Structure 1
Amino acid sequence: MVPRPRGRSAERAEPPVPARIAAALAVLDLAPHDRVLEIGCGRGVAVAAIAPRLTSGHLTAIDRSAVAIAAARDRNAAHVAAGTVAFLEVSLRDARLPPGAFTKAFAIDVNLFWLDGSAELAVLAAALSRGGRLHLIHQAPSHTGRPRIVDGLRRELAAAGFVIDRLDSPDDTGVPLVVVTARPPD
C-alpha cells in the first residue's frame, strides 16, 4: 500500500492505493503524451492516479457496470471536465474503439484474459497503435494460485498472437501479483 499523507491534508486524501494498482502504475511507464485504455476501471482509482500524468495525452476507461462508471466519473470529474479522461459503459468485447488509437492498454484483475479472452484480445490488437503495449496485472488469491493465472495468460495471449515481453511475479509487494506486458501481432 502507498502511505497516506499526514497532517491537515490527510482528511481530504484518497485512500491508500492497493498494491495491484501501484504495480500497474509502475509497469505502465507513462509518458505525458500517452493514449491509454483501462479495461475494467471499476470506481476509477487507477484513473485518478494516471490522469494528472497525461499532460497532452488521454485516458479512456471502460467498465460494463453502470454503477462503477458513475462512481468513476464522480471521482474523476475534474479530469473529465478537462478533457483528459473519458468513461464508457461497455464491455471490451462490445467496445467500438478506433483502430490504432491507444499506445498503452491495461487491466487489473480482469479474469477473462487468463480464462477465455480471444474476442477481447482481438479488439485490443486492433485498438493498440504500432509499438503499443498491453499490461495485465492480476492479484492471485494466494501465492499458490499464481501458476494457474500465468499459464492461462500465456495460453490466451499466444493464441491471439500477442508476444509477451515481460512476465513477472514480484514478491516484494506483499501480495501474490502476476504482471504481464505484451505487444500485439504485427
Structure 2
Amino acid sequence: MTTKDSNATYINSFTSLTLPLTPTFIKQYFESELYVLLLEAIEEFKKYLVHIIQKHLKEHFSHSGKQIITFPCLESLFFGVFERYIHYYNYKNGNYKCLLQGQNAYNQLSNLFNNPNWGRRFFDNEQQTFVLLFDRWAEIEANQEGEFDQYGKRIPKNRRKKFNLPKLIFEWKRQTKKDIK
C-alpha cells in the first residue's frame, strides 16, 4: 500500500525479520518502510558525513584512539548511504550496524563517499591525522596466535589473547522519548 505525501512517498508493509541480511532481503523488507530520497540528498549527506569525520580528527596525539561521533540523522538517509554495508539489524529496537574492517575497508569507504581523503585531515607544517582501519602487524599477530603455548600445552579459549583489530562501526539507533503520564 502506497500513500503519497507532498514531501515523499512512504510505503508501509513490514513483516518479521527471520532471514539473513542479503541484498535482496534488504531491498524487499527495509526499503518498503523508508522514505524514497533523491540521489542529490544522499550525496549531500555523504559530504556532510565526511565533514563531520574530518572535523573530529584532532592534531595532537593525545586525542588518538577510539572516537565516538553522534549526530541526528534520518533512517532513510542512513539506509540510503549504507544499504550495501548493513551487517546487523535489531528488529526490537530498529537499530542498524555497519562494520568495516580489514585491508580494503578504507578503499570501500573512499568509493562510498566518493572522496579518497575522507579519513584524513591536513594541518600546518605538513602534519596530518587519519583514520586507521588496517594494522598489518596486529593482523599478523592475531593470525599467528595459536591454540598451544610454548610448552605444547593447549591454551583454553578464555586464556587466549584478545585482539582489538581496527574497525569502523556506523550505527543508527532509533531514539524515543516516553512521557510519564
**Same fold, TM-score > 0.5, yes or no:** no
Length-normalised TM-score, structure 1: 0.24
> Please, what TM-score do these two structures have when normalized by structure 2?
0.24
> Hey, which of these two has a bigger chunk of strand by percent?
1
Q: Radius of gyration: which is bigger? A: 2
